[in-house]
């Protein structure tokens, strides 16, 4: 607030004593006799004479309000007799404040400063109300308030006509029950009751957004998204519900159509996965039947290995069919199931198998799962072919670890280890060739881990973006 140093005294009666009184209060005084000559700033309106008060308060013009409308701070100088006339009393109330002729200078100064402060507050409030009205009257959304005491709408913005085809006056006459369909009204009342019960427990409810059906003037209905919050008075008691309503008819319809399309696509995708899984299972069964007619043991091994590879792929689709996510697989769980399945199905001679698994939770897409699964399938198959020793339990280890930007799969056995001079990085056997090819497609690396007993291998691939 800017502290005034000068005031304008509007008086047609000389006002010598009043002018001196204002100077004693610490103000520079400029005297004018006509309202049209008043400059902007603080105006002291001389109403010390009853006839002058009648003239300026109601016979000629409502002068305090006129001067306020021009942006002035208005202080009326009065005597108690002025208030004997009720119309004068009403007119004086249009000033920001008033002083009496007998008020001491300090009181006069304090009253003028308080009037300036009130004028500043009124101006801020006026500008705030203008901004709010501009927003409310031109917003596409409908802004409204509902009185919790009267159970009636207090305010509805003009955009109600665009939303429902009715005027503000028509909307204000409606009850909330009339402004919604029966189901929507019951839903709204249920949420209101829950909010009031929350307040009774001392917890203010947060804003709520929900969808409601509202009738339009042309007989149609619209789906409306409404966000509501509670307005409180200075004592913290709830007084109104503030709502913002927007047309969501097209959005909800499009959302429902999209969800329906997604459901159909998911069904088709799962049907495709089911058929691919069945086809792979049929191929594996045919290979199993054919292997019973093979005479060469080496050929029989090839049939078993091919059958194992096909089963590894079939397990990918089986996991997808059982997953809530039609596109991603828990890699650790998939590889564990794969190792157990291969160990169980690979029925050539050898002792029992003990699979020990440590895995992080990590999901990958089906393509990456299939490539990693085929590579691990080769490692398990090799271990079951070459690491088993009669009369001993074969211990297999599987680790799936998610590191910074990388995914590490480690597989080991406690067999005799790799033959002297064999390096998986450049070995020409079909199994190692296939593993290197699969890992290469993933942009990763494959290598044997030195030291320890048995054989150990590490597959490292980058994490998906």
Q: Higher model confidence: residue 272 or residue 233? A: 233
Average of pLDDT values for 24-32?
88
- Residue entry with tokens 């399309």: 261
The answer to whether 70 and 94 have CB atoms below 8 angstroms apart is: no
Average of pLDDT values for 390-412?
90
What does the buried/exposed string (b/e) look like for 136-173 if buried means 16 or more CB atoms within 10 Å of the residue's CB?
beeeebbbbbbebeeeebeebbebbeebbebebeebee
Q: Residue 199 pLDDT more than 80?
A: yes
Sheet holding 445-448, edge to edge: 353-359, 394-403, 406-413, 455-462, 445-448
Architecture per CATH, 6-137: 3-Layer(aba) Sandwich (3.40)
Out of 251-260, 302-311, 430-439, 444-453, least confident range = 302-311
> For residue range 61-88, what is the model confidence (pLDDT) as tens digits?
688 888 888 888 899 888 888 888 888 8
443 sits in the region (left: phi over 0; alpha: psi -120 to 50; else beta) called: left
Band (169; pLDDT cuts 50, 70, 90): very high
The three-state secondary structure class of 418 is: coil
List, in order, residues 6 or more apart from 254 with CB less than 8 Å away: none
What is the CATH T-level fold of the domain 253-462, as seen in this structure?
Answer: Heat Shock Protein 90 (3.30.565)
Which of 32-41, 253-262, 282-291 is predicted most confidently?
Answer: 32-41
Output DSSP code: residue 237.
-
pLDDT at 185 (0 to 100):
95
Q: Higher model confidence: residue 185 or residue 265? A: 185
Band (165; pLDDT cuts 50, 70, 90): very high
The count of other CB atoms within 10 Å of the CB of residue 104 is 11
- Residue entry with tokens 């794969």: 338
Tell me the C-alpha distance between 371 and 103, whole Å. Answer: 96
Segments of the chain assigned to CATH 3.40.50.2300: 6-137
Q: Residue 324 pLDDT more than 60?
A: no
| Arithmetic mean of pLDDT over the chain | 82
- Is pTM beyond 0.95? Reply is no
Q: Residue 193 pLDDT more than 60?
A: yes
pLDDT at 289 (0 to 100):
62
Which residue, among 51, 68, 49, has the nearest Cα to 60 in the 3D structure?
A: 51
pLDDT at 179 (0 to 100):
95
What does the buried/exposed string (b/e) look like for 300-313 if buried means 16 or more CB atoms within 10 Å of the residue's CB?
beebbbebbbbbbb
Output DSSP code: residue 84.
G
Segments of the chain assigned to CATH 3.30.450.20: 139-247
pLDDT at 266 (0 to 100):
65
Segments of the chain assigned to CATH 3.30.565.10: 253-462
Distances (CA, A) of 293 to 59, 149, 210, 287: 123, 89, 68, 10
Tell me the C-alpha distance between 209 and 303, whole Å. Answer: 62
pLDDT at 330 (0 to 100):
86
Q: Which helix (H) or strand (E) holds 192?
A: helix 182-200
Average of pLDDT values for 436-464?
88
The answer to whether 71 and 90 have CB atoms below 8 angstroms apart is: no
Distances (CA, A) of 98 to 36, 60, 113, 350, 369: 21, 20, 12, 109, 85
Tell me the C-alpha distance between 156 and 162, whole Å. Answer: 12
Average of pLDDT values for 21-28?
87
DSSP 7-44: EEEE-SS--HHHHHHHHHTT-EEEEESSGGGPPSSEEE
Which listed CATH number (3.30.450.20, 3.40.50.880, 3.30.70.141, 3.40.50.10860) goes with 139-247?
Answer: 3.30.450.20
Tell me the C-alpha distance between 150 and 338, whole Å. Answer: 69
Q: Residue 306 pLDDT more than 60?
A: yes
């Amino acid at each position: 607030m800017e502290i005034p140093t000068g005031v304008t005294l509007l008086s047609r009666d000389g006002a010598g004593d009043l002018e001196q009184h204002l100077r004693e209060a610490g103000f520079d005084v400029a005297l004018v006799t006509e309202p049209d000559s008043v400059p902007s700033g603080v105006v002291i309106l001389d109403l010390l004479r009853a006839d002058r008060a009648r003239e300026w308060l109601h016979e000629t013009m409502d002068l305090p309000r006129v001067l306020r409308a021009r942006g002035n701070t208005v202080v009326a100088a009065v005597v108690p007799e002025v208030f004997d006339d009720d119309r004068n009393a009403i007119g004086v109330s249009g000033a920001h404040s008033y002083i009496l002729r007998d008020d001491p200078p300090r009181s006069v100064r304090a009253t003028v400063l308080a009037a300036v402060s009130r004028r500043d507050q009124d101006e801020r409030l006026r500008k705030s109300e203008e901004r709010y009205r501009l927003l409310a009257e031109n917003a596409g959304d409908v802004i409204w308030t509902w009185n919790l005491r009267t159970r009636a709408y207090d305010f509805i913005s003009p955009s109600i006509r665009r939303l429902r085809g009715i005027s503000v006056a028509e909307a204000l006459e409606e009850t909330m029950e009339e402004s919604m369909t029966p189901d929507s009204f019951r839903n709204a009342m249920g949420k209101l009751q829950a909010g009031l019960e929350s307040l009774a427990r001392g917890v203010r409810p947060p804003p709520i957004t929900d969808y409601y059906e509202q009738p339009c003037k042309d007989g149609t209905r619209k789906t409306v998204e409404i966000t509501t919050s509670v307005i409180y008075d200075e004592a913290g008691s709830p007084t109104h519900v503030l709502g913002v309503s927007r047309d969501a008819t097209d959005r909800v319809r499009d959302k429902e159509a999209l969800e329906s399309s997604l459901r159909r696509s998911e069904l088709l995708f799962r049907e495709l996965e089911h058929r691919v899984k069945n086809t792979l299972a049929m191929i594996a069964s045919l290979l199993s039947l054919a292997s019973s007619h093979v005479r060469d043991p080496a050929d029989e091994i090839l049939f078993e290995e091919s059958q194992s590879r096909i089963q590894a792929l079939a397990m990918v689709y089986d996991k997808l069919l059982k997953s809530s996510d039609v596109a991603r697989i828990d890699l650790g769980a998939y590889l564990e199931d794969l190792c157990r399945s291969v160990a169980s199905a690979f029925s050539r001679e050898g002792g029992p198998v003990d699979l020990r698994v440590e895995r992080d939770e990590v999901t990958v897409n089906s393509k990456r799962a299939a490539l990693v699964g085929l590579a691990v399938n080769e490692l398990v198959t090799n271990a079951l072919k070459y690491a088993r020793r009669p009369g001993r339990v074969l211990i297999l280890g599987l680790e799936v670890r998610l590191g910074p930007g990388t995914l590490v799969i480690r597989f080991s056995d406690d067999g005799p280890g790799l033959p002297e001079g064999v390096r998986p990085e450049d070995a020409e056997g079909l199994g190692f060739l296939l593993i290197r090819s699969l890992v290469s497609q993933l942009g990763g690396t494959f290598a044997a881990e030195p030291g320890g007993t048995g054989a150990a291998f590490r597959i490292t691939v980058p994490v998906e973006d």
